[in-house]
Amino acid sequence: MQGKIALEEHFVTPALEGIVSGVGWIPEEWRRVLDRLEDVEERLREMDRLGIELAVLSLASFGVQDVPEPERAVARAREANDALAEIVAARPDRFAGFAALPMQDPAAAAEELERAVRELGLRGALVNGYSSLGDLETGVYYDDERYLPFWERLESLGVPFYLHPRNPLPGQRRIYEGRSELLGPTWAFAVETGTHALRLITSGLFDRFPGLTIVLGHLGEFLPFALPRLEQRLSHLPHVVLEKPATQYLRDNFYVTTSGNNHTASLIGILLELGADRLLFAADYPFEEMADGAEWFDSVPISERDRLKIGRTNAERLLGL
């Protein structure tokens, strides 16, 4: 398919290398990833070859969320967003951007989001999971009531919030001890991020702010396959009071991208559960190979009408392109 829009594509600059994570990569491989994160020309050549018209760029993980000091997080977010805006301004026909946000300081995050959207022209935000606060052993999740003014601002701006993965807090990794291969994208990323999304749902956030839009990568971090059972069990808990069934929030307030999860049976299942209007194409470059995602998506056995929605028109509508 020509003209695809890719929603989860990452970047970094040499000055920001220190806040992106090479955990799990051997040094030579990580240097290659950094080079590709910083490169524009190779990225554009691959996009041309694979029929990707537009890439929505975001700071690579763990980014600003891994900066425990709020004031420094604010400064690094501004630096990242200014750099991203320059990249987009140089090629607005090929790139758009999601802002990095210093969620360690909810008020500052709201102000930076508004600056990024209104002044820099970015199309929303991508946040790498919980934010470290004070030290790397302490994290804050965004169902905390201190974030209600932030969510109000996000809703008023009408832009999406991409909840991107990170590993569990160091003190919460007992189940992974001796099995570090299960951390990161192998397993822990999806469990951590899916649980964070469930915290948002069960907190009643979307009843309070029904116009919020959250994006999840990797075909939804397992949630589309778990929500029916979750919903059935929540119905037995009188302290959980929601205006809608839990699965309805996934259909009304969430989008799911294909990033790094090129699995046909899962895609078909999500189409049956959520419908084509809630799916978006992404490649997760350069942490995944752009060709793997694009070539799979172009040949996956779905209708051409759904392929166009997932590959392009849903993103146009969501991002106001």
Active site residue 144: no
**Catalytic annotation, pick one of 144, 284, 292, 298:** 284
| 3-state DSSP assignment of residue 125 | strand
Instruction: Show the DSSP H helices in 158-308 as ranges.
Output: 188-202, 205-208, 223-234, 246-253, 264-274, 290-299, 304-308
Please provide the distance, in angstroms rounded to a whole number, between the alpha carbons at the two ends of the chain.
19
Distance CA 308, CA 298 (A): 10
The DSSP secondary-structure symbol of 167 reads: P
| Cα separation, 46 vs 42, whole angstroms | 6
Rounded to the nearest angstrom, the gap between the alpha carbon of residue 38 and the centroid of all alpha carbons in its chain is 19
Task: Report whether 279 contacts 270 (CB < 8 A).
Answer: yes
C-alpha span between 302 and 291 (Å, rounded) = 19
Active site (catalytic) residues = 284
